[in-house]
Structure 1
Amino acid sequence: MYGVSTKVSTGFDETIDRVTEALKSEGFGVLSDIDVSATLKSKLGIEQRPYRILGACNPDFAHKAISAEPDIGVLLPCNFVVREDDDGDVHVLFMNPLAVLDLVENPKVPGLAEYVREKLDRVMAAASA
Structure 2
Amino acid sequence: MSYTITKTVSDADFETVEARTRDALSESGFGVLTEIDVAETMNEKLGEKMDRYTILGACNPKLAFGAIQTEPRVGAMLPCNVIVRQLPESVEVSAVDPVASMSAIDNPELSNLAGQVRDRLAEAIERV
Structure 2 partner of 1:81? 83
- Residue identity matched to 2:111: P
Deviation string 1:46-105 (CA, Å, 9 cap, x unpaired) is: 1110000000011001100000000101111000000012x2421010111111111111
Q: Which residue, 66, 69, 76 being the options, matches 1:67?
A: 69
- Measured after TM superposition, the shift of residue 5 of structure 1 is 1.4
Deviation at 1:107, TM superposition (A): 1.7
Unaligned runs of 5+ in 1: none
Give 2:47's aligned residue.
45
Structure 1 consecutive aligned stretches of length 4 or more whose deviation exceeds 2 Å: none
Gaps of at least 5 residues in structure 2 are none
Distance in 2, Cα, partners of 1:126 & 1:6:
10
Report matched runs for 1:1-129 at 5 Å.
1-9=2-10, 10-85=12-87, 87-127=88-128
CA RMSD of aligned residues (A): 0.9
Residue type of the alignment partner of 1:89: S
TM-score, length-normalised on structure 2?
A: 0.94
Aligned-partner SS, 1:108? helix
Q: CA deviation at 1:110?
A: 1.2
Per the normalisation by structure 1, the TM-score is 0.93
Query: 1:45: Cα distance to partner?
Result: 1.4
* In 2, Cα distance between equivalents of 1:126 and 1:107: 29
